[in-house]
Structure 1
Amino acid sequence: MRDLETIIQQSINPFDTVSFKQGNFWEEDQSESLTVNSIHQDELKLIARILAQVAKDKNSRTILLKGDSGSGKTHLLGQIKKKLSNKAFFTHIIASIQNDYIFQYTLRKTIESLMFIPEGEKESQLLLWLKNIINQQDQGLLQKIQGQRKAFVGNMKAAYPTGIWKPNAFFSVLYALTQPELYYLACEWLKGDDLDDKDAKLLGTKERIKTEQNAIDVLASFSRISGSTLPIVLCFDEIDISNNRKDLLESILKLNMIIKTQKLKDFLVIISVITDTWQSYEGLIESSLKSPINQNISLKPLTSEQIKLLWSSRLNALHQQVKLKPKSNIAPLTEQDLRYYFPSGKANPRSALKVGHQLIQKYKTGQIIDPDPIASFQLQWQEEITKNKTNITQISQLSSAELANMLKQVMEALQVNSIEFNIFKKGNSSAVRSFHYLDNNGKRIGVIWYDQSNLGSFCTLMKSCKNLLSQEAYQQLILIRSQTVGNPKNKGYQLYQQIFQTDPNRHLIPNLESIHILATYHSLYSYATNKNLTVGYETPDITRLQELCRQAKVLENCDLLEELNIIQKDNESSDDDDQDYHQEHDDNKPDREKIKEFLLNLIKIQFFMGRKMLIERTLSQFNKEVSEEEVDRAIKTLIEKQQIRIVNPQAKPEEQSICLPT
């Protein structure tokens, strides 16, 4: 077996800065081997006790979870979900939408979270919740009413005679959840999608969730029938993403107030916020909105012993590869390092990980050098977009309001002028799906993203657009929509033809690849606003994130931005000798340039890596869409161009180390 020094030289830095970022705790599985159970155990036990109280008396409760940036709030939420998964149903609500859409957004994210299948289960949280309720009434009821919507609705109305919003519609949709062919359609209705009449008929209802009040009423309906099942945990995270944090905090606290004043049952609300954000706005928020908070929890710094345990958890995998185990669990790091960098004996988890990364880098190279920020950022981007490609398989998974918000954020990163939400009169339901901006010629452009399938609502939107044009407030209107626009017999279609098939107005049809780019920037935007994004040794704010996006040119492949004339794509191949390669390969596979870019970026931030590890990491990154031979060919090209070099060329390929040219 190899010695520890060789293993460290050839491996990924175990304190890889990309891993500092904590994303959606429900979607991302937290590695058990990298979790230190003693960290935040007191807070976890307290939250478990409060959840047990909710389960016992069904009275909803609220926890305000505070901590500094990098203190581990999101990781703690992940541990709560992991450790208490059999005690509650969990939701994750990234507070990243306009304040006047917060209730509908909360409902949408609640349903999306409940659609996840917990570890060890075969059905979603949503189905487990519903079947638990049905079985509490009658163990054989679900079998008795299969194929009998009317009987199901009648039984549920008898069991819950009051407090249910539009009971015929609500219970018809719950029945549809039990029918495999209607399950996803029912979820779309519950999320608030404006379904077309044909799909709504399949669900047995003409009703839609169209307003903020409708959304609250549906959440209340969930509460009314939840008394016989596990609590639902509503986790509000990343509140700092909002440009107007005070208003967003107030909106969430108003929702929490409604839960309390209307005595909605079986909810545990957890509001996670950076300590500085809460201290900045606490005095400006009405006392009545703060009074329903039952418990304040502030995360404490790590102790010296916990820092050692955190370091040990990261280094353990390397120690396992050595025949003679090191005497210290943190080798090659030392107790002296611990005292030098943390003289107070305290640190937050991110600081402890950063120091670990620096010390391993010094052990590899003899010095601490800031990792290349563009290389680091491009690797972050690649990781995030790969995740989004897996999670987002249809445009309809995101609401039009979310997509409009994402597009606005990306355009701000590209320094588009004077972007503001809402081109309609206040109260118009399409307001949260629209914004306007000034183009390079000073023209005011209005953008509406409307991808709901209901053609009746589409017709209403077209009438609003016609009224808008009559006011001459905008020099151009742009409709973004992938759904059908109807047929010549429809009034909405006729208005659409008059408006968006006439210059200078335009209709753009977004593709899924553009959505992945928008969603990836939105994710990094969320992390950055919460100071939860690490690029090299930086913790970039929004201004720096925007600058990195422009420098790394990660937005330049977005077709939608090109159609909006925000960017101009460069379609020329950077290597003439790669043209035959591209012609021989499927368009859906990563091209050779992307593979080379990933390899080079990885070497730039790792400084030294084993050739074998470099190949394995690349295959993993591209989900084995490329072969080992293709990766090896890309490595050879980089060597030929003297962009990287082999440290020990006489060694066997699997034993070679690679670094940057000196």
Structure 2
Amino acid sequence: MQTPEDESQSQFLLWLNSLSAFQDKSLTKRILGEKTVFVQNFKSSYPTGIYQSKNFFSALYHATQPEDYLLACDWLRGEDLDTSDLKKLGIRKSLSSEEDAKNILMNLGRVAAKAQYPIVLCFDQVDQACLKENGLPTLLGANTTIHNERLKNFVVILSLIQDTWENQTTKYPCLADQDRIDRIVKLDKITLDQAEEIWQKRLYPLHQQANPKPESDIFPLTRDELKKRSPGGRTVPRTVIQLGHKLIQELKGTGHIKTDDSFLLVWDKEFKKVQAKVERIRQQSSSELAQYLADVLEMLGVPNVNYKYLEGSKYLNYSLSFIHPKTSKEIGILWNEDPNMRSFYYSMSACEKVVKAGECDRLIFIRNEPFGSTKNKGYKLFQKIFSGNPHRHICPHLDSVHYLVTYHRLLNEATSGELVVGYDSPKPNHLKELVKQSGVFEQCQLLKNLGIIENSGDKGDKREIPRPQTPDPDIKVREFLLKQIRSQGLLGVEVLINSTLAEFDAIALKDKDVVKQLKALERENYIQMIGNDKNIKDQSVFRVPEDQR
């Protein structure tokens, strides 16, 4: 349901638009009303075999309406919607069971039979999930269900590193679900010729500018360097790119670039991607949000972090607990963003049981979604439990969720061996150290409200949390320049200006603004510029070591 690059519509809408039953330009459409004809078109195209056909086609129709798109997607995903939201969609009830989910998938498969392409379900970077108890069997079980129920027009792709697969299949040698895998594709290592091609493509833009032209397509690198570091004459693309970058830095005389210097650039790049894709808190399920928060607390060294705290409750996956590092008190957390007021009431009932049993010193309820009318039973329970000490409510800001999702994605990449930071491919434990050392979570408002990170301005139990202040553009540009120079060692000023303009395209930055910050950094002896004094763009810039400032 995400929007691909260079497209104005989501992948789901692009697929929907390709269906013949979606289009109707007749006079009937204007007479009877668009929704009526839309549903009738689909019903006539698929007269049998569609589960909850009226609800399903109604959801597809509302997915085409900009104001209802997210709501329709929430219903299709199985979100527990409130009565008022269901009424907008013209649907009686939410999807609430595994049987519902399976049948909706079956519906999509049947509709996809008349589309140009099948529906691809890609489970990427699942190595982290496989580390959990029954992780791989659960994932393979989803594939088996699709096979056994004969859901058509689906392609299921499971992507993980070979070591994970071998370890898991050794752990579960009799796993019957393996028989439902039609094909296993192993990505072999590449040859030296293929490795050279990677270097050629990377160096080509520089060679085009060079005068005279280099004799070798990979100059200043050599094939001998590849041979030294490629046992058996084969290697992997990531290693080739890392090696090339390292050798270039050595030739430039900038030496080894510290991994922690490069990490901030990696974090900023991923954080920016998350900001663009995660536009509302409910894009992540409540169980995912609780899991992400537990992972971050564990990474920060918070004692006794336990995901799934509310034993015996349907909100088990929404909860976690930990020992507060400053007070040594046991903290319980329930994070519920379900819009359904019935779900809200039951979650408050679960909280009441925990409080009465004295199972924790402090219970924290996290929720951004509305609480409904003050007359609702759920709202009254909420007021009773969380209106004073020691228990409290926190209203999370979207910015805090961006922090949690960014860390989750980097952790998945590190677990699957796909994360590259400078010359290194840090494993999860190394990533955790990099995150802690970098201090990237120091501006996470949610962690401040939990008291994990110092926040002198925290006013305690107020529901409304102000938006994080936007840093001054000059400060952001300055920080970006320093990160680039630290990670690269030596850079051409023109290249640096262009990359900075691309990074800050949303604030109408100009060349002179970047030059101004570069000159300020030079005056403060953070950097030094060398080269043609008449044209700053012909100069190069390098970082001044700390002991020489």
Q: TM-score, normalised by structure 1?
A: 0.75
Secondary structure class of the residue paired with 1:407:
helix
Q: 2:319 aligns with which of 434, 438, 456?
A: 434
Q: 2:308 aligns with which of 407, 422, 425?
A: 422
Q: 1:356 aligns with which of 244, 250, 259?
A: 244
Secondary structure class of the residue paired with 1:298:
coil
Q: Which residue of 2 aligns with 1:466?
A: 352
Closer, same or farther in 2 for the Cα pair 1:257/1:412, shift >3 Å?
same
1:274 counterpart = 2:274: no
User: Mapping of 1:208-287 within 5 angstroms?
Assistant: 208-229=94-115, 230-242=117-129, 244-245=131-132, 247-285=134-172, 286-287=174-175
The structural deviation recorded for 1:632 is: 2.5
Q: Which amino acid aligns with 1:522?
A: H
1:612 counterpart = 2:494: yes
Q: Which amino acid aligns with 1:618?
A: T
User: Mapping of 1:88-237 within 5 angstroms?
Assistant: 112=1, 115-117=2-4, 123-135=9-21, 143=29, 147-150=33-36, 152-153=38-39, 156-157=42-43, 159-160=45-46, 162-229=48-115, 230-237=117-124
Closer, same or farther in 2 for the Cα pair 1:638/1:129, shift >3 Å?
closer
Secondary structure class of the residue paired with 1:478:
strand
**In structure 1, C-alpha distance between the alignment counterparts of 2:28 and 2:162, rounded to whole Å:** 47
The structural deviation recorded for 1:123 is: 4.3
Q: Which amino acid aligns with 2:519?
A: K
User: Mapping of 1:466-615 within 5 angstroms?
Assistant: 466-569=352-455, 588=470, 590-615=472-497
The structural deviation recorded for 1:282 is: 0.7
Secondary structure class of the residue paired with 2:184:
strand
The structural deviation recorded for 1:554 is: 0.5
Secondary structure class of the residue paired with 2:65:
coil
**In structure 2, C-alpha distance between the alignment counterparts of 1:417 and 1:214, rounded to whole Å:** 39
Q: Which amino acid aligns with 1:268?
A: V
The structural deviation recorded for 1:628 is: 3.5
Closer, same or farther in 2 for the Cα pair 1:243/1:546, shift >3 Å?
farther
Secondary structure class of the residue paired with 2:50:
coil
Q: Which amino acid aligns with 1:289?
A: D
**In structure 2, C-alpha distance between the alignment counterparts of 1:173 and 1:139, rounded to whole Å:** 21
**In structure 2, C-alpha distance between the alignment counterparts of 1:421 and 1:233, rounded to whole Å:** 31
Q: Which residue of 1 aligns with 2:465?
A: none
The structural deviation recorded for 1:131 is: 4.1
Closer, same or farther in 2 for the Cα pair 1:354/1:623, shift >3 Å?
same
Contact 2:307 2:319 in 1 (8 A): yes
How big is each residue's C-alpha offset from its partner over 1:214-234, in whole Å with a ceiling of 9 and x where there is no partner? 322321221233222221111
Larger CA deviation: 171-180 vs 444-453: 171-180
Secondary structure class of the residue paired with 2:160:
strand
**In structure 2, C-alpha distance between the alignment counterparts of 1:117 and 1:547, rounded to whole Å:** 33
Q: Which amino acid aligns with 2:134?
A: D
Contact 1:388 1:519 in 2 (8 A): yes
The structural deviation recorded for 1:388 is: 1.9
> Mind listing any 5+ residue stretches in structure 1 that lack a counterpart?
1-111, 572-585
Contact 1:562 1:568 in 2 (8 A): yes
Q: Which residue of 2 aligns with 1:58?
A: none
Contact 1:118 1:124 in 2 (8 A): no
Aligned sequence identity (%): 36
The structural deviation recorded for 1:262 is: 0.5
Q: Which amino acid aligns with 2:237?
A: P
**In structure 2, C-alpha distance between the alignment counterparts of 1:333 and 1:342, rounded to whole Å:** 15
User: Mapping of 1:315-330 within 5 angstroms?
Assistant: 315-330=203-218
How big is each residue's C-alpha offset from its partner over 1:637-660, in whole Å with a ceiling of 9 and x where there is no partner? 322222211233745311111112
Contact 1:556 1:569 in 2 (8 A): no
Secondary structure class of the residue paired with 2:421:
coil
Q: Which residue of 2 aligns with 1:68?
A: none
> Mind listing any 5+ residue stretches in structure 2 that lack a counterpart?
458-467
**In structure 2, C-alpha distance between the alignment counterparts of 1:617 and 1:432, rounded to whole Å:** 42
Contact 1:370 1:536 in 2 (8 A): no
Larger CA deviation: 206-215 vs 430-439: 206-215
Larger CA deviation: 231-240 vs 479-488: 479-488
Contact 2:250 2:256 in 1 (8 A): no
The structural deviation recorded for 1:165 is: 3.3
1:648 counterpart = 2:535: no
Q: Which residue of 1 aligns with 2:201?
A: 313
Closer, same or farther in 2 for the Cα pair 1:515/1:136, shift >3 Å?
closer
How big is each residue's C-alpha offset from its partner over 1:387-407, in whole Å with a ceiling of 9 and x where there is no partner? 222222322322222222221
- The structure showing larger relative contact order (alpha-carbon pairs under 8 Å, at least 6 residues apart) is 1
Q: How many residues align?
A: 531
The structural deviation recorded for 1:476 is: 1.3
Q: Which residue of 2 aligns with 1:293?
A: 181
**In structure 2, C-alpha distance between the alignment counterparts of 1:185 and 1:488, rounded to whole Å:** 24
Secondary structure class of the residue paired with 2:393:
strand
The structural deviation recorded for 1:409 is: 1.5
Q: Which amino acid aligns with 1:176?
A: H
Contact 1:436 1:445 in 2 (8 A): yes
**In structure 2, C-alpha distance between the alignment counterparts of 1:569 and 1:499, rounded to whole Å:** 25
Closer, same or farther in 2 for the Cα pair 1:566/1:123, shift >3 Å?
closer
How big is each residue's C-alpha offset from its partner over 1:572-614, in whole Å with a ceiling of 9 and x where there is no partner? xxxxxxxxxxxxxx95354444333322222222111122222
Q: Which amino acid aligns with 2:528?
A: R
Q: Which amino acid aligns with 2:399?
A: E
1:333 counterpart = 2:218: no
Contact 1:145 1:152 in 2 (8 A): no
Aligned Cα root-mean-square deviation (Å):
2.7
Secondary structure class of the residue paired with 2:304:
strand
Contact 1:239 1:245 in 2 (8 A): no
The structural deviation recorded for 1:136 is: 8.8
Closer, same or farther in 2 for the Cα pair 1:243/1:300, shift >3 Å?
closer
Closer, same or farther in 2 for the Cα pair 1:467/1:309, shift >3 Å?
same
**In structure 2, C-alpha distance between the alignment counterparts of 1:190 and 1:339, rounded to whole Å:** 53
Q: 1:621 aligns with which of 484, 499, 503?
A: 503
The structural deviation recorded for 1:327 is: 2.3
Closer, same or farther in 2 for the Cα pair 1:485/1:544, shift >3 Å?
same
The structural deviation recorded for 1:378 is: 0.8
Contact 1:134 1:142 in 2 (8 A): no
Secondary structure class of the residue paired with 1:320:
helix
Closer, same or farther in 2 for the Cα pair 1:156/1:144, shift >3 Å?
farther
How big is each residue's C-alpha offset from its partner over 1:284-308, in whole Å with a ceiling of 9 and x where there is no partner? 3333210011111111111111111
**In structure 1, C-alpha distance between the alignment counterparts of 2:155 and 2:192, rounded to whole Å:** 33
Secondary structure class of the residue paired with 2:293:
helix
